Structure 1
């Protein structure tokens, strides 16, 4: 396979119960066939994440949102090869060179999920009121314009189709929404899929893999919930 490319982009697993939206880099590394799609092969981003119950060391893959370190993982990874999680060859959704939205430059901002699955961004420019209108598969929000909302190492909040769909579904279902931060790294937790419809107290971190953070009450957690103070209408 050709050498992977590192480019500005957003990526997301096509099937996952957690996600990683508040990212510390605006770049992704992988193999891409186009500027956007659901067929990218993205390089694993593995980091130590404590131990399994049997005491074996485990790692967390931020890219594919899964743990590494089982006997099967070890058997499938010769010492001469870099570690790869079990989902390393799974196609992922992606957008290269995504729109980077600076909310401090606009007012009356709305984000909606269209029936076609696109994220509809509408905003009025602060310097004259010109309309900013985009229909996007995914969107990056510049966190430098939102000080104090997320940890300092977060550079942007990636609004992915999976996150937007989960948020919209939770709102429609009337689920109790909030944003739970990881007790270890402070990054916000994202619930996806069935977890976005089933309020719960224990949350696993998509950034560091810590799996023992608890909210005060059962909630569906998403960092998009925090945008409601900065965006007039958010889904």
Structure 2
């Protein structure tokens, strides 16, 4: 049987188990195998970028898709055998949404964005032109960053609010841990803590965009871009009535 050709479509994806994440993306497209419009069974292609060296001096890469390093002896052997460079998690099922709702905060006012008890994101907003009511209930949501000057790195086109990120943010708020948003010292992208890292404040952060693992925040924090989005909302009350 011939292998099914992977599809490249507008969408967002996320590892089902990870301690870091990649919300601020530079492309709206993902490539992989998808059974439906959303789910937790996607097989998504690796996106490997150079990430310095391992401690033994060997070159390493970072997989933005699976949040995992590539470049070990096992990885090199696999690449030689398959003629593919793919991280160890390349076959792991991932959560995903295709054609996610895209929200531009600068085109609306009186917006509310909250996470309900079932883990769904609820967005309500009024369009500036005409006043139409925008209603979205979805497991994941994309924020158009192109009009949010100075909030995130300029090459970030959208902020993907994934279920793990939203749930970790809500849990950290409830627990009262110190929250902030730490940018990578190498690429400038915002860092996202997930899992147990979203409950234990720390200073050293690994970047989900480039894999740099030696960025330090000024104090021990749980880092998430959603904190910066919330700060933007507080500075623009005419745009946001509530943000997570």
TM-score (norm 2): 0.93
Shift of 1:56: 0.8
**Alignment counterpart, residue 98 of structure 1, candidates 100, 113, 116:** 100
Instruction: Please give the secondary structure, in 2, of the residue aligned with 1:145.
Output: coil
Show the counterpart of 2:88: 86
1:48-86 deviation digits (Å, cap 9, x = unpaired): 100011111110000000101112222222166120000
Displacement of 1:232 in angstroms is: 3.0
CA distance in 2, matches of 1:47, 1:185: 12
Matched, 1:214 2:240: no
SS of structure 1 residue aligned to 2:155 = coil
Tell me by how many angstroms 1:152 deviates.
1.2
- 1:173 is matched with 175
Count of matched residue positions in the alignment of Structure 1 and Structure 2: 235
Tell me how large the CA RMSD over aligned residues is. 1.1
Alignment of 1:3-22 (within 5 A): 3-22=5-24
2:232 is equivalent to residue 232 of structure 1: no
What corresponds to 1:158 in structure 2?
160
Note the C-alpha offset of 1:234: 2.1
Where do 5+ consecutive residues of structure 1 fail to align?
none
Question: Is the 2:78–2:84 Cα contact (8 Å) retained in structure 1?
Answer: no
Question: Who is 1:127 aligned against?
Answer: 129
Q: For 2:25 and 2:74, locate their aligned partners in 1 and report how far apart those are by CA, in whole Å.
A: 29
Per the alignment, residue 207 of structure 2 pairs with 205
Q: Distance in 2 between matches of 1:140 and 1:63?
A: 17
Which digits, 9 at most, give the CA deviation of each residue in 1:28-67, with x for residues without a partner? 0000110110000000000110001111111000000010
8 Å CA contact 2:21–2:193 kept in 1: the answer is yes
Q: Is the contact between residue 14 and residue 95 of structure 2 (CA under 8 Å) also seen in structure 1?
A: yes
Tell me the TM-score normalised to structure 1 length.
0.97
Comparing 141-150 with 156-165, which one deviates more in the overlay?
A: 141-150
Return the alpha-carbon distance in structure 2 between the equivalents of residues 132 and 58 of structure 1.
Answer: 45
In 1: Cα distance, 2:66 partner to 2:13 partner: 10
- SS for the counterpart of 2:79 is coil
Distance 2:147 2:138 in 1: 20
Aligned to 2:79: 77
Q: CA deviation at 1:160?
A: 0.3
User: C-alpha deviations, 1:114-166, integer Å up to 9, x for none?
Assistant: 12211111112223433211101111110012111111111100000010000
Q: Which runs of 5+ in 2 are unaligned?
A: 234-239
Distance (Å, rounded) in 2 between the aligned partners of 1:203 and 1:100: 28
Bigger mean CA offset, 78-87 vs 52-61: 78-87
Structure 1 CA distance for aligned equivalents of residues 202 and 243 of structure 2: 23
SS in 1 for 2:212: coil
2:75 match: secondary structure: helix
